[in-house]
Chain A
Amino acid sequence: MNDGVRAGRARSSVDQEDAVLPPPQLIDRERLEADARQLDVTWRDPGGLWGWLTTVDHKSIAKRYIITAFLMFIAGGIQAAMIRMQLALPENNLLGPDRYNQIFTTHGTTMMFLFAVPIMNAMGLYFVPLMVGARTIAFPRLNAFGYYAYLVGVVFLYVSLFLNTGPDAGWTAYVPLAGPQFSPGHRVDVWAQVVTFTEIAALAAAVNIIVTALKMRAPGMSLNRIPLFVWAQLVVSFMIVFAMPAVATASTLMLAADRAVSTHWFNPAEGGDSLLWQHVFWFFGHPEVYIIFLPGLGMVTPIVETFCRRRVFGYDALVLANITTGFFSFGLWVHHMFATPIPELGQSLFTAASMLIAIPTGIQIFCWIATMWSGRPRLTTPMLFVLGFLFTFVIGGLTGVMLASVTFDKQAHDTFFVVSHLHYVLLGGAVMPLFGAFYFWFPKVTGRLLSETLGKWNVWLFVIGVNVAFFPMHILGLNGMPRRIYTYLAETGWGPLNLLATAGAVVIVVSVVIFIVNVAVSWRGGALAGPNPWASSGLEWATTSPAPSYNFVHTPVVLGRHPLWDSVGPFPVITGLRTDRREVLVTTVFDARPDHRHKEPDASIWPFVLSLAMGVTWIGSIFTPWAVPTGFAMTLLVMLGWGWQSSRVTDVERVETEDRLVEAE
């Protein structure tokens, strides 16, 4: 231990902000207790329905986010089960083509837009502030607004589905099939608007996470000490900022316009171009995949560290891998279009890029394996999920490399080989780490541990189920089975493997049911966790489980990459933030030196109202373009109210401007 602290000190002594620190002084208990009580009064949001609607606590919002997104996982899973049932036998009549098209489109849309991206964002919104030792997130009201916008999208999609208005042109909504001529009615409009809502939510979350991770880190947490999960969230948030506008443009400003006000973006006869859609969509669509699984990789690191009892090997390599993956992911979209008439040279370039991106991912996997070798892994459920992730994800990654080859891709493209590949990558690369993370951080959210016994069942069935369900699809694809077909003739001989895949799907369902039972039982009845049940190293474990509304009594000070492993004796903190109002410490971007104190807003209803106003606008715009100006006016009024509320004179501030410091109201 001691050499560890010396290491921490030694490493930190090179950073000036530690050098200027005065000699530490112990804070006596009474003061701590008093501060905690005062902070609780200041930061707790009102109770009751009103409090529920107005809360801006990043934890309660993120908790809702996670729960809603997981419900979407279940909904999408039910659709997947229906698809598997329909395909289990040749010439099956369970679902007609019309119903089937709505189901598989909703499955894709739900899993990509309403489950995967939101739940990864939500994990960030919950844990990034805790991991960087902040009292809350940078823009709490924006955060709440984002959640409600997302919720509107969720409700809208599912109400439409039950009104026989579910989108039915595939989650990629290729034109001209999704255009006004071949998709009459409002089904595709629903898709376009749902996408818009989720874009808004994702962008709100991204900006929030970026600013929190860059400007609100605990003193001493210089860039080279940011936890890897936060790094992943930061990189992903930047990716969202540059990827999501593409799909928002494609769906709202191009497709919806084509369908509602007869623009000609995609009408070849009037100078439009159906390939334009594919370019813009995949410019978003490929980064999307990494937006979904980079956070997954970020969750693996703390789990490996904690259960191997070792610092992760190659922190710098892992950070660089994250960043380079983020960059490259914008340079591969064309490998989704190899079957379209585009120049050979361009194809070769994108092949090279698509293979290149395997390198950073490979490096990360090697680093984790090296860490495991140096330590003695404890096979808890989170760790088992990590092993399942390595086992499964590597297969997906390797088929990904195969698909990068233009010549082979033209055989596998749009077949069940690709279906299999993408499910290996997303279930293996994102969902398995996510389940691991659920088991790992559940105590921090609820104060109680999930049952390990059920957990073991959960992980084994899930890994087996996924592989049984999706491995046969590789072969089906090579045997000529295209994706998105609602049935197939017996003579194709695809029956047995499809039946096997369906069996695997059943196993997955069982596993997920076990998880739900586990949560239901443990939420109230699980073993009490205490602040740091896994003896882990991150700042989120330095406070109670569940964390109080104010996260930390005093802002922690960070002396190394593993705060709880590096510091010995009394926990190092910094004092002086006011406890009688919602004040957070803003630090500098690079070495996180204390810069100023910032007053965060109190509970507010306006985020909820604003999301409703926007909901009315977008949904109305499907039926009449006049909804846009009307809703716009409404939105402006709401923003006026929002501004009015936030510009109340509260108390005396210390203003620093043009190098002078003045007290003013």
Chain B
Amino acid sequence: MMRSRLALVILLAACSGRQNALDPASAQNRSITALFWAMFVVAAFIWFVVTVAFLVPAVRQRRTTREDAEPALELPAETSRRQTRLVSGATAVTVLILLVFLIYDFGVGRALATHPARALTIELVGHQWWWEVHYADPDPSKIVIDADELHVPVGQSVQIKLVSRDVIHSFWVPNLIGKRDLIPGYTSSIFFTADRPGVYRAQCAEFCGHQHAKMALDVVAHPAPEFSAWLERQRAPAADPSDSLAANGKRVFLSAACSKCHAITGVEAYGTVGPNLTHLATRRTLAAGTLPNTRGNLGGWIVDPQSIKPGARMPSNQLESRDLVALLAYLETLK
């Protein structure tokens, strides 16, 4: 009793948050959440009834007379008839409830399966252990490649194309929509329509190796105009650094290992192994939602990623301190 009340409190407290299936931020998830609550209430009631049903005979005051101690082999006819009625009745109710659940679920499924003719298409590529995001555009020069952050417009249906380059990952934004796996050899897609702006946290939901735990993704839902403005900014190549320190940093970036894995549009860096850094400074987090994007964190990540994400593909870089300072200065110009 105590426990269940505590659980109830926690449950109520636990129904909001930026990574919470019960705090819907999309039309789709509202219907899923409704289904959940319906099933939850019914299930809780059934559990309560069953518990009472077996606790009553267990705890009711009993005086063991002789015929209780001895097995009564044949029960009185009406007793067994009553039992039969009760059990078959309970079974019938079970079937009925399941039927209702089934129909309700099919209804929700149907609703989720209907998509508008045209939707904004974003391609999401899973890597060990980060996310690569492509904003498609008929004009190749306008394609935007971003990482570890997914921006979507509010009120517009979005289609996420899911691809994996290595192992199976799973895309799951609890507030927006249920999960969908990224499976090598398959291209699948998932639709949703965010209906209130905000930043929602997603995290890889299929075990994918050492850093499965630190493979998160921020989903940012903007009002439509804000979104297109953001996309426009993202299309711009990296500006050339103005001050000498940053210019120095750029040299470091190109001479050190960085450019082998990371690309920066407008610079001689074409690496595709790691995230594209063209607009690194605009991102909220580093290392796939592991660290807030601050100068200190960035420096620490560059010098010693292996103690932050052991096993991550990013090697540790021994850089002269002044080179590091310059590099950081440069990376901060990547707005």
CB of A271 to closest CB in B, whole Å: 10
Cα A96 to Cα B102 with chains together (Å): 43
A407 and B109 contact, CB distance less than 8 A: yes
Task: Tell me which residues across on chain B come within 8 A of A174, comparing CB atoms.
Answer: 167-168, 206-207
B179 and A369 contact, CB distance less than 8 A: no
Interface string of A329-373 (1 = CB under 8 A from B): 000000000011100100110011001101100110111111011
Answer whether A482 and B204 are a contact pair too, CB < 8 Å, given A359-B98, A398-B47, A488-B213. Answer: yes
B109 and A348 contact, CB distance less than 8 A: yes
A314 and B209 contact, CB distance less than 8 A: no
Q: Which of A229-237, A246-254, A374-382, A583-591 touches B?
A: A374-382
Q: Is B108 an interface residue (CB 8 A)?
A: yes
B208 and A391 contact, CB distance less than 8 A: no
Q: Is A223 an interface residue (CB 8 A)?
A: no
CB contact between A402 and one of B36, B102, B170, B183 (< 8 Å): that residue: B36
Chain B residue at minimal CB-CB distance from A409: B178
B50 and A492 contact, CB distance less than 8 A: no
Interface string of B1-42 (1 = CB under 8 A from A): 001000100110010010111100000010110011001100
Answer whether A370 and B87 are a contact pair too, CB < 8 Å, given A405-B101, A411-B178, A497-B10. Answer: yes
Answer whether A484 and B207 are a contact pair too, CB < 8 Å, given A351-B105, A406-B105, A478-B20. Answer: yes
Task: Tell me which residues across on chain A come within 8 A of B112, comparing CB atoms.
Answer: 407
Answer whether A310 and B71 are a contact pair too, CB < 8 Å, given A411-B36, A471-B3. Answer: yes
Cα A526 to Cα B271 with chains together (Å): 72
Task: Tell me which residues across on chain A come within 8 A of B20, comparing CB atoms.
Answer: 478-480
Chain B residue at minimal CB-CB distance from A487: B213
Q: Is B315 an interface residue (CB 8 A)?
A: no
CB contact between A411 and one of B17, B21, B75 (< 8 Å): that residue: B21
Chain A residue at minimal CB-CB distance from B167: A177
Task: Tell me which residues across on chain B come within 8 A of A408, comparing CB atoms.
Answer: 32, 35-36, 39, 105, 178
CB contact between B203 and one of A341, A363, A480 (< 8 Å): that residue: A480
A362 and B91 contact, CB distance less than 8 A: yes
Chain A residue at minimal CB-CB distance from B166: A182
Task: Tell me which residues across on chain A come within 8 A of B86, comparing CB atoms.
Answer: 366, 370
Q: How many A-B residue pairs have CB under 8 A?
A: 272
A489 and B290 contact, CB distance less than 8 A: yes
Q: Is B132 an interface residue (CB 8 A)?
A: no
Interface string of A568-590 (1 = CB under 8 A from B): 00000000000000000000000
Which B residues form the contact surface with A (CB < 8 A)?
A: 3, 7, 10-11, 14, 17, 19-22, 29, 31-32, 35-36, 39-40, 43, 46-47, 50-51, 53-55, 57-58, 62, 64, 68-75, 79-80, 83-84, 86-87, 90-91, 94-95, 98, 101-102, 105-106, 108-109, 112-113, 128, 166-168, 170, 172, 174, 177-181, 183-186, 188, 201, 203-214, 290, 310-311
The 9 closest A-B CB pairs, nearest first, are: A410-B178, A268-B185, A4-B73, A485-B213, A480-B19, A341-B188, A398-B43, A405-B105, A484-B207
Which A residues form the contact surface with B (CB < 8 A)?
A: 1, 3-4, 7, 96-98, 101, 169-170, 174, 176-177, 182, 268-269, 273-275, 309-311, 313-314, 317, 339-341, 344, 347-348, 351-352, 355-356, 358-359, 362-363, 365-370, 372-379, 383, 387, 390-391, 394-395, 398-399, 401-402, 404-415, 464, 467-468, 471-472, 475, 478-480, 482-489, 492-493, 497, 537, 562, 565-566
